[in-house]
Amino acid sequence: MPATLVGLLVALVAVMFGAVTHHVSPVYLISNVTALFIVCLGALGATVASYEFTASTGVIKAILKTTLGKDPQPGVDTIKTLVEFARKARGEGLLALESEMAGLDDPFMKRGLQLAIDGSDPDAVAQVMKTDIKAMKVRHKVASDWCQSYGIFAPTFGIIGAVVGLIATLGELDKPEKLGAGISGSFVATFLGVYLANGVMLPLSARMKRLSAQEAQAREMVVEGVLAIQGGQNPRVIEESLLSYLSPSDAEAFREANA
């Protein structure tokens, strides 16, 4: 199970268990229709107003990928592929890699190698690939910023919901028996706003930023590998250079497995 989903579930269980220990029903916290409308839809409306529609519709896909997608791999397979290509290119020339291109699953690596095979200037290859990475970071930033904005708006709408509830409660001061329930219900909106922000949307935003940084690092490794292959460097040197992108434990495991 992805770490993001595990973390969100742990946070939810912790909050609900804490509520139960204080004799507060979890159902009560999520069944206040007025609070749900004001907080969830109010924060959603404010966030949608802050971005173009394509960003708001695309964030659903990003959230699903963040919560249900597999955790990133350390990049061992990528290093193996690049080192194998380096050996082949060093022994048979860059053109020999053309027959291997069809089997590549990574379009980014495929694009870079194709530019190298076509005889493009190394600086031009690096520029094209690094521009691709910058564009990817910009695309990823939209989804993470969207979730962060929702997390900023939600507590404020929670306060608005609490104020609305208190206004309604104060309008019934002639019915003392309803005051307790009314005040209690008013603070449900505050709870929902704070929880949605800190228990859901802000963690999602942080995770999206982390995943984007990891993907960018993986692509930077590919850029270095492609340029090294194009420059005809020794495959062993390329391997050691690329292993620096892994954690010490993963790098050592790679060396032992390929000794």
Range of the domain at 12: 1-259
> Token match 């027959």: residue?
99
Long-range own/partner contacts, residues 61-67 (CB < 8 A, 24 or more apart): 62/140, 62/143, 62/208, 63/143, 63/147, 63/204, 66/2, 66/4, 66/204, 66/207, 66/208, 66/211, 67/2, 67/4, 67/5, 67/8, 67/204
Average pLDDT over residues 170-190: 76
The answer to whether residue 128 scores a pLDDT higher than 80 is yes
Cα angle 46, 210, 152 (rounded to 5 degrees) comes to 20
Average pLDDT over residues 179-197: 86
User: pLDDT exceeding 90 applies to what percent of the chain?
Assistant: 64
Residue 45 Cα distances to 4, 32, 39, 108, 157, angstroms:
25, 19, 10, 36, 11
Q: DSSP string of 170-226?
A: HTTTT-GGGHHHHHHHHHHHHHHHHHIIIIIIHHHHHHHHHHHHHHHHHHHHHHHHH
Q: Which of 26-40, 103-117, 167-181, 219-233 has the lowest mean pLDDT?
A: 167-181
Token pair recorded at residue 89? 């290119």
**Which residue, among 140, 144, 141, 139, has the nearest Cα to 206 in the 3D structure?**
144
Q: What is the pLDDT of residue 165?
A: 84
Average pLDDT over residues 222-236: 93
**Which residue, among 81, 72, 121, 73, has the nearest Cα to 242 in the 3D structure?**
81
The answer to whether residue 1 scores a pLDDT higher than 80 is no
Selection from 91-100, 151-160, 170-179 with the highest mean pLDDT = 151-160
Q: What is the pLDDT of residue 122?
A: 92
CA distance 101 to 111: 9
Average pLDDT over residues 9-19: 93
What spatial distance separates the first Cα and last Cα of the chain, rounded to whole Å?
Answer: 32
Q: Residue 75 has what DSSP assignment?
A: S
Q: How do residues 26-85 score in pLDDT, each as one tens digit?
A: 888 888 888 999 999 999 999 999 999 999 999 999 999 888 887 777 788 899 999 999
Residue of higher predicted confidence among 210 and 3: 210
Q: What is the pLDDT of residue 104?
A: 87
The answer to whether residue 166 scores a pLDDT higher than 80 is yes
The answer to whether residue 170 scores a pLDDT higher than 80 is no
The answer to whether residue 250 scores a pLDDT higher than 90 is no
**Around Cβ 9, how many Cβ atoms within 10 Å?**
12
CA distance 108 to 144: 23
Residue of higher predicted confidence among 47 and 93: 47
Q: Residue 233 has what DSSP assignment?
A: -
Q: What is the pLDDT of residue 23?
A: 87
Q: What is the pLDDT of residue 73?
A: 75
Average pLDDT over all residues of the chain: 90
The answer to whether residue 177 scores a pLDDT higher than 70 is no
Residue 78 Cα distances to 105, 109, 114, angstroms:
10, 9, 16
**Amino acid occupying residue 135:** A
Q: How do residues 105-127 score in pLDDT, each as one tens digit?
A: 899 999 999 999 998 999 999 99
Token pair recorded at residue 53? 């529609």
What's the domain count of the chain?
1
